[in-house]
Chains A and B, each alone.
Chain A
């Protein structure tokens, strides 16, 4: 069985400040890990993914995430928040190549950016 936990359903960050969104997973096998962003009334957009190889993954819009197997974590960061980063962010896992698209999502973190 696998599960995904996102710490904090709401995060408020000042413009220009560090964005840190936490994601922990439980899985009996090495997972594939994803971060998605959802803007209001839109579908989900892939920010970045980890499959194998380098544990620090860079994505779009200046976001990056680090896979830490020992901590079963895949936290998302961005050094400097922009107003346009206000959205909901979802961490997700899938287990195997065969079920690559079958994602289990965390509950989501709503990010508010204040001027």
Chain B
């Protein structure tokens, strides 16, 4: 595909359930970023991958949040025991090289009921 894709586009889950959000970056982009966009907090950095390793996890809000990346490509963000405050749009972005343009996906809208 030409751009960053994310799935699902919308997810409604009950409080306490686990969810997995998927990001497919642009082919050849070695860096991958997860952000969260919420009404109260705006756009926040969550985690950064370079290849399959995550040198910066500083934005993950709690240990209920984790992420992995396999094959230097697809990444999955997992939220365990979801809470209502996890409701937000989760955005993924990928980058080929430092200094280049960071391309964002359309996001996954997560609603925790």
Contact = CB atoms under 8 A, between A and B. Distances in A.
Contacts, number: 52
A102 interface: yes
What range describes how many residues of B lie at the interface? 20 to 34
A51 B98 CA distance: 11
B98 A100 contact: yes
Interface string A97-112: 1111111111110000
A41 interface: yes
Nearest to A104: B45
A9 B100 CA distance: 28
A90 interface: yes
Interface string B75-113: 000000000000000010101001101101111000000
Interface of A: 36, 41-46, 49, 51, 90, 92, 97-108
21 contacts: A36-B104, A41-B106, A42-B106, A43-B4, A43-B91, A43-B104, A43-B107, A46-B102, A49-B101, A51-B99, A100-B95, A100-B99, A101-B48, A101-B93, A101-B98, A101-B102, A102-B45, A102-B56, A103-B102, A105-B42, A107-B42
